[in-house]
Amino acid sequence: MLIDIEKASEILLCNSPVAIPTETVYGMAGVINNEDALKSIFQIKERPFFDPLIVHVNSIEMAKRYTSNWNDTAQKLAENFWPGPLTIILDKNDEVSSLITAGLDRVGLRMPDHALTLELIEKIQIPLAAPSANKFKKTSPTQASHVEDEFGVSFPVLDGGKTQFGIESTVVGVFDEKVEIYRPGVITRNDLEEILDIPVEHTISPVAPGQLKHHYMPQIPITITTNENEFNQVENLYKWKLEDDAAFVARELYARFREASKKSFHGIIILYKEEFKEDENWKGVLNRLFKAKTYEI
Quick check: 32 and 55 in contact, CB under 8 A? yes
Whether a cis peptide bond, with omega within 30° of 0, leads into 83 is yes
Q: Looking at beta carbons only, is 34 or 132 nearer to Mg ion?
A: 132
Q: Which of 18, 32, 37, 130 binds ligand TXA (CB under 6 A)?
A: 130
Which residues lie across from 54 on neighbouring strands? 108
Q: Looking at beta carbons only, is 101 or 143 nearer to ligand TXA?
A: 101
Q: Looking at beta carbons only, is 140 or 223 nearer to ligand TXA?
A: 140
CA distances 221 to 137, 198, 254, Å, are 13, 40, 14
Distance of closest approach, residue 94 Cβ to ligand TXA, in angstroms: 15
Which partner in ligand TXA, Mg ion, none is near 25 (CB below 5 to 8 A by kind)?
ligand TXA
CA distances 50 to 62, 103, 136, Å, are 25, 8, 12
Residues in CB range of 19: below 8 A, 6 or more apart: 26, 27, 28, 29, 133, 141, 144, 147, 151, 155, 156, 157, 158
- Count residues contacting Mg ion (CB under 5 A)? 1
**Binding to ligand TXA by residue 87, rule CB under 6 A?**
yes
Q: Looking at beta carbons only, is 133 or 242 nearer to ligand TXA?
A: 133
From 196, 208, 138, select the one nearest 171 (Cα to Cα): 208
**Binding to ligand TXA by residue 52, rule CB under 6 A?**
yes
Residues 152-171 that bind ligand TXA (CB under 6 A): 168-169, 171
Which partner in Mg ion, ligand TXA, none is near 209 (CB below 5 to 8 A by kind)?
ligand TXA
Let me know how many helices (H) and strands (E) the chain has, helices first: 11, 15
23-42 footprint of ligand TXA as x/- string (CB under 6 A): -xx-x---------------
CA distances 15 to 9, 30, 41, 128, Å, are 10, 7, 10, 11
Distance of closest approach, residue 2 Cβ to ligand TXA, in angstroms: 18
Q: Which of 17, 127, 131, 166 binds ligand TXA (CB under 6 A)?
A: 131
Q: Which of 198, 207, 234, 247 binds ligand TXA (CB under 6 A)?
A: 207
Quick check: 136 and 142 in contact, CB under 8 A? no
Candidate segments 126-134, 218-226, 229-237, 271-279, binder of ligand TXA by CB under 6 A: 126-134
Q: Looking at beta carbons only, is 22 or 73 nearer to ligand TXA?
A: 22
**Binding to Mg ion by residue 132, rule CB under 5 A?**
yes
Q: Which of 17, 83, 84, 112 binds ligand TXA (CB under 6 A)?
A: 112
From 19, 254, 248, 247, select the one nearest 116 (Cα to Cα): 19
Residue ranges with strand state E in 117-158: 128-129, 157-158
DSSP letters for 9-36? HHHHHTT--EEE--SSS-EEEEETT-HH
Candidate segments 59-67, 132-140, 265-273, 274-282, binder of Mg ion by CB under 5 A: 132-140
- Count residues contacting ligand TXA (CB under 6 A)? 29
From 127, 146, 114, 297, select the one nearest 216 (Cα to Cα): 146
**Binding to ligand TXA by residue 22, rule CB under 6 A?**
yes
Site residues for ligand TXA per CB under 6 A: 22, 24-25, 27, 51-54, 85, 87, 89, 101, 104, 106-108, 110, 112, 130-132, 168-169, 171, 182, 207-210
